[in-house]
Structure 1
Amino acid sequence: MQLTLQGDGSTIEVSETVLGADYREPLVHQVVVSYLSGARAGTKAQKTRSEVSGGGVKPWRQKGTGRARAGTIRSPLWRSGGQTFAAKPRDHSVKVNRKMYRGALRSILSELLRQERLQVVTAFELDSPRTRDALEKVRSVAGSDDVLIVDTEVSESLYLAVRNLPRVDVRDTVGLDPVTLLAHENVVMTTDALRRVEEWLA
């Protein structure tokens, strides 16, 4: 499968398996949900009626007051009472097999290429860590301000140049994930990064 590089117009041979895969929406959805679930802290905690401090004494006698019967001031019906179904710390992560995860990444990259939202360049380098220069280069390559830049390793000058751009993100191939790929309008990837991704997903 031939792919035209952005900028110089030359072509390179890329893997049909990685960049020519069908878009499998249910698989992508499952992997994205799993990824986001795994990112949840899961530290939420509330107290049940038995855990709230106080409430050991019956507030008034059972009969004769004309009021509704009550056994504790920590009933969930009362102000400052316990929670009926109290949330407890738990693990929200959902297991996804490696084969599914890689299949979802292949689907996403292939769909980005079909929609012309994936641009491959020989290299993405800056002479100086200036945000203005970085924005001009991003716009010239991707034609958009909302861009994910993927390289084999992130240089310090590139990181410093784009860190103040709210919709531009830069990642190395190790930190590539489905949620970040889908979060941006365009993805700019260097040829070295593409080769490494192909090795990983082939």
Structure 2
Amino acid sequence: MELAVIGSGKALQVNDSVFAREFNEDLVHQVVVAFRNAGRAGTKAQLSRSDMSGTTKKFKKQKGGGARHGDYRAPIFVGGGRAFAARPRSFAQKVNRKMYRAAVAAILSELNRQGRLKVVDAFEIEQPKTRELVAKLKSLEVSRPLIVTESGTEALYLAARNLPFVQVRDVQGLDPVALVGATEVVMTAEAVKKVEEWLA
């Protein structure tokens, strides 16, 4: 298939398996959840009765006082330990490389079908000025784009830093969460070729 390159009148020949793939919602959901979970710290921790500080002295006699208790660190007492205390853990989920690549290709294909994938010859700005980037985005008629370049320049990163909902990524930093969250995706022709090499 072909992708139109905005502003040049040319068309870019691309692989159907990357930009015309059938959308698999279950696969995309699984990969996005796994990617987000991999970023979770998993450092939540609570104190069980064995972790509590305090005396273990028996505070009343064994018989004649109702329920029998050993110490005040039991979970039923205010200030006592937690019955099923949370422990630090990893939230990571295993996702095969083939599944990950298939999900990214499915997202790109769906963006292309919906007309939200825009390909340009190059995307560079001379100075790290936000107004220059805003003017460039306005000419492309995009509002909340993910800009994907083959290797983003510092000027482009700095210009986009103050714009909410505008992200700049190189091909190596492309991930499914960024693609799903973007209203439009603007890719350079070189980035398209690199993504195609990666996913084909």
**Given the two structures, how large is their TM-score scaled by the length of structure 1?**
0.94
Tell me the residue number matched to 2:13. 13
* Structure 1 residues 1-202: aligned runs within 5 Å: 1-65=1-65, 68-141=67-140, 143-202=141-200
> Aligned equivalents of 1:183 and 1:27: distance in 2?
16
Instruction: Work out the CA distance in 2 between the residues paired with 1:104 and 1:75.
Output: 48
Aligned to 1:187, the other structure's residue is in SS state strand
Which residues of structure 1 form unaligned runs of 5+? none
1:64 Cα offset (Å):
3.5
What SS does the aligned partner of 2:3 have? Answer: strand
Please give the alpha-carbon distance, in whole angstroms, between the structure 1 residues aligned to 2:86 and 2:36. Answer: 19
TM-score of the superposed pair, with normalisation by structure 2: 0.95
4+ residue segments displaced more than 4 Å: none
Alpha-carbon distance in structure 1 between the residues aligned to 2:88 and 2:102: 32
| Cα deviation 1:29-63 (Å, max 9, x = unaligned) | 11111111111111111111111111401222233
* Unaligned segments of structure 2, at least 5 residues: none
Q: Is the 8 A contact 1:135 1:145 kept in 2?
A: no
Pairs aligned (count): 200
Displacement after TM superposition at 1:70 (Å): 2.7
How far apart, in 1, do the equivalents of 2:59 and 2:139 lie?
A: 73
Aligned Cα RMSD in Å?
1.3
Cα shift at 1:68: 4.4
Percent of pairs with identical residues: 51
